[in-house]
Structure 1
């Protein structure tokens, strides 16, 4: 993976405040997620990225929906900043299936057709303990027809989750 020092420094700076917080500072049931992605999955699979996210605890009064914040930092300097919602739609023992939808902005939009982009994903999570799980995710980013072109792109992301 061609991750630059700048990308790694940005990700660590985003995660470091959370590492110093006690688990009582964030809502119980929330998650921090960090993972590596391969983009252009069905084309050249030539883009790599780092995904970092905060996933809030399920809001029981809103059908268990989980508000999320996502940062994607691609190897060629492209960044995607988004907010969205996630929902665990299936659970069996330590395995669960999650769907998510995000709306956000990308800072270098020439490859995706517009500054506003939507990211949707389907993932499987396996809990190894109360505080740690791994996730395999298939995602799609698109501008939903807002731009002059809408090439879209698919990704595969492998992430680790820390549960509070």
Structure 2
């Protein structure tokens, strides 16, 4: 499949995901954040690759139950990359510790890495973060990237990441 056709399909998936996940985003009083991450892709496999990512976390949306819409992109050292749109939800364990489950729909390109079986993947996971007084966070996250059996092949891959959001 040509690169242009793959990118066109991936952009179409991202547009559908955005329309589905963010039908009416209202401006919220809380601040949005940018998160930078570094970690290991395929962390439980012999073919582990380094991964680096950036994510824009919108302010929590009171109109959609406090969900936090996100947009992000990730690159791996073996040439794989994906862009995603999703949601997060903060569960405050106390004043500083926050557990955040998350879900996203991703447009995936394998590069020289693992073939996850489809161009569209689902990214599900959780992050445990410490929130500093300035509202920045340092978190440790684990997530799974999989096509949910919509492709013929569905090996899935896990990532362990360290993130800093501000």
TM (norm. structure 2) is 0.77
Structure (1 or 2) with the greater strand fraction? 1
Match of 2:41 among 31, 39, 42: 39
1:38 and 1:45 in contact (8 A); partners too: no
Deviations along 1:130-160, whole A, 9 cap, x unmatched?
Answer: 2421010010000011111100011100011
**Aligned-CA RMSD value:** 1.8
Deviations 1:53-106 (A, max 9, x none): 001110112111010001011111111011001001233111110011000211
Q: Is the 8 A contact 1:58 1:65 kept in 2?
A: yes
Q: Which runs of 5+ in 2 are unaligned?
A: 1-27
3-state SS of 1:92 partner = coil
Q: TM-score, normalised by structure 1?
A: 0.78
**Matching residue of 1:4:** none
Change (3 A) 1:90 1:28: closer
Name the structure 2 match of 1:106: 108
1:118 alignment counterpart = 122
Please name the residue that 2:90 is paired with: 88
Q: Which residue of 2 aligns with 1:73?
A: 75
| Residue in structure 2 matching 1:133, options 137, 140, 155 | 137
In the alignment, the residues of structure 2 paired with residue 45 and residue 135 of structure 1 have an alpha-carbon distance, to the nearest angstrom, of: 24
Unmatched runs of 5 consecutive residues or more in structure 1: 1-25
Residue-pair matches, total: 137
